[in-house]
Amino acid sequence: MEDPLAWELAKRQESISIAEFFEKNRQILGFDSQPRSLITSVKEAVDNALDACEEAGILPDILIFVEQSGRDTITLIVEDNGPGIVRRQIPCVFAKLLYGSRFHAVKQSRGQQGIGISAAVLYSQITSGRPVRIISKIGKDHPAHYFELIINTKTNEPEILKDEEIEWDRLHGTRVELEMEASYVRGRRQSVYEYLRETAIVNPHARITLVEPDGNEILFERASEEMPVAAREVLPHPHGIELGTLMKMLRYTERERLAPFLRYSFSKIGLHTAGEICKAAGIDPKTDPHTLGVDDAKRLIKAFKRVKIMAPSTDSLSPIGEELIYKGLRKEHTADYITTITRTPSVHSGHPFVVEAGIAYGGSLRKDGPAKILRFANRVPLLYQQGACAITHTIERIRWRQYGIDQPPGSLPTGPIVILVHIASTHTPFTSESKEAIADVPEIMSEIDLAIKELARRVSAYLSKEKTLNLRREKEVIIKRILPQLATKTAQILELPTPDINPVIAKIMGNVLVKREIHEDGEVHRVIMEVENNTERTQEFTLHEIHEHPVYNPSPAPKTTPIGSEYNHQWRITLKPGEKRAILYDLQAMPDELKKLPPPIVEGVGKELLTGAEAIDRGVGDGG
């Protein structure tokens, strides 16, 4: 009697390792072209370096060498000054997929799955046939360990080709060297340079140096000596917890009563709240959680929604912050208006997250074509798969025309606009292992929608104000053309000096007038500054006189700050509508020096509402 076919088929069944799977499906990890393979490898190495330095409280100093070692071959070297890796862990960190310390931790980090750097090692091994070379040192009095490793894809285990102690001039840190089929590109949105530039924007505490294949060195200098607030590991939040996850937690908990299980398995649940949840679910707080079934778990999830539970803690997150987003956009884009927002924490699947966003509008931004979208997750730029990302989908669904911004149906808005969105989360739901796009999770998309719409309302208000101001500017231009001619003609007819018409213009336009008169008397001169509010609102502003001369006998006395070889004399002024004020001081200077005095400067009044002085931006807030 012959064996049934099922027996023959069963003999062919065998398990495959995760390394073997990705060996044949490396495009899933972002290794689908030569340029992208290099960017992905740099990204994984830099992310690891930043995470390691931040966990150790060390200001990151990262060096990236990209060397052309063959026609289609690149050697990538990444060095950092992190805490190093202990010898016994080096093989598994670099040559075993799904090995790491962050997958189960409920806190924000760049790497979570334990695939990143080992996937780069796998790609290097497949395309070059060479092992990865690693040096790591954990302290001044400890030796540096040198390894050459490959991944046994059949078992997903590291194979050690070389393991020895060497001399290394770093006090501590890690160096990884990979050879791979790859290509280095310049001048594209998807490039190593662009990835590092955007990484530097949202990680101002890091110094990053890139050495290109031709030897050109690019330094992204750190802009801050302060480390970001470290994210702390927390328990999952009950809001958004899924049924299967709760069932698993109930089945494997060490607690023998339901109330303690709730208190010590979730964040923001205390003794009183645990009792209220049990009461709302109709379950005795003393019940053994191991005995609860699916229906009990469903009642608990409903109780989580009915009982008032505090919002998730932000301790597990490290957002960029509104000010840094503002500075980053201001640094990289010349815009007329910038506004930013950081939303309050929310939850998806029991994991807290925060959405941050910024919009830059106008200026030198490209006026034709779609908006430029900058996407970040846990301080990491997302360069690929923009069309597959929840951030893009949410932006496309907003009706931008109602905010005064053009938009083709179902597409991104168009015009001079840059939209930045950052998601800080303890568990970012990427669409794939390449971590380039965020899945369409309703809770996340809702927060992105609320953040972007708030910014869009601000932009709409700015555009409305600009429209009014443009009409005002046109009126002022006409007045400034006509009045000087009338004043000159009238003065000629009456044979009198041409009068100063600034006070007249200020009254007609309803502006703040600043008029400076200097009464010369030998080497000591009397300066009279007249300030008048012709607007319909109370105006609060700072008047600056910036020059190389000290002031004598001032009334009122200014706040004086040295600026190099000059002085910044400042008066804080508040004027009601129609109110005038005079500022007096003595100045010691030669007649030629008087002619070189710069005009007064006003901080706090827009230039469209100012006559007789220059206006400066406050440099903070929503405006440009």
List pLDDT tens digits, range 98-126.
Answer: 655 444 444 455 544 446 788 888 888 88
What pLDDT does 472 receive? 61
Q: Is the dihedral of CA 233, 236, 239, 244 positive or negative?
A: positive
CB 284 within 8 A of CB 254: no
Residue 231 in domain: no
- Indicate whether 290 and 391 sit together in one domain: no
Same-domain pairing of 337 and 408: yes
CATH code assigned at 518: 2.60.40.2960
Does residue 507 form part of some domain? yes
Q: Are residues 216 and 78 in the same domain?
A: yes
Please check whether residue 517 lies inside any domain of the structure: yes
Chain segment 378-405, per-residue pLDDT in tens: 888 888 888 899 999 999 999 999 999 9
**430: containing domain:** 322-463
Q: 10 Å Cβ neighbour count for 131?
A: 23
Give residue-wise pLDDT tens across range 171-182. 999 999 999 998
Together in a domain, 215 and 263: no
The answer to the question of residue 263 being in a domain is yes
Confidence (pLDDT) at 618: 46
511 Cβ contact partners less than 8 Å away, ≥ 6 residues apart: 505, 534, 535, 609, 610, 611
> Per the omega criterion (within 30 degrees of 0), is the bond before 556 cis?
yes
CATH code for the domain in which residue 302 is found: 1.10.8.50
Pair 430, 577 in one domain? no
Count of structural domains, the chain: 4
pLDDT value, residue 10: 66
Read off the pLDDT of residues 559-577 as tens digits, 9 standing for 90 and up.
Answer: 998 887 889 999 999 999 8
In a domain, 56, yes or no: yes
Q: Are 211 and 263 within one domain?
A: no
**Structural domain includes residue 401:** yes
CATH number of the domain to which 64 belongs: 3.30.565.10
Q: Residue 413 — very low, low, confident or very high, per pLDDT cuts 50/70/90?
A: very high
Half-sphere exposure of 606 toward its Cβ, with a 13 Å CA cutoff? Answer: 13
pLDDT for 135-145, tens place per residue?
A: 999 998 899 99
Q: Mind listing the pLDDT tens digit for each residue in 9-19? A: 666 665 566 66
266 and 177 in a common domain: no
Q: Average of pLDDT values for 454-480? A: 75
Task: Kindly state whether residues 523 and 394 are assigned to the same domain.
Answer: no
- From residue 593, give the alpha-carbon distance in Å to each of 519, 587, 588, 600: 14, 11, 10, 15
Asked if 598 and 534 sit in the same domain, the reply is yes
- Structure-model confidence comparison of residues 609 and 408, the more confident one: 408
Whether the per-residue pLDDT at 621 is higher than 60: the answer is no
How far apart CA 372 and CA 419 sit, in angstroms, is: 6
298 with 402, same domain: the answer is no
Structure pTM? 0.64
Domain annotation covers residue 489: no
User: In terms of C-beta density within 10 A (0-12 exposed, 13-18 middle, 19 or more buried), how is residue 614 classed?
Assistant: middle
CA distances from residue 173 to 94, 189, 583 in whole angstroms, order as listed: 15, 31, 60
> Beta-carbon neighbour count of residue 287 at 10 Å?
16
Question: Does the structure show a pLDDT above 90 at 352?
Answer: no
- Same domain, yes or no: 273 and 332: no
CB 503 within 8 A of CB 516: no
Mean pLDDT of 501-514: 70
Q: Which helix (H) or strand (E) holds 445?
A: helix 442-494
Check residue 623 and give its pLDDT.
43
- Between 116 and 273, whose confidence is greater? 273
452 in the same domain as 339: yes
The more confident residue out of 560 and 476 is: 560
Strands (E), 302-350: 337-342, 346-348
Question: Which residues are CB-neighbours of 22 under 8 A, at least 6 positions away?
Answer: 28, 29, 97, 115, 119, 122, 433
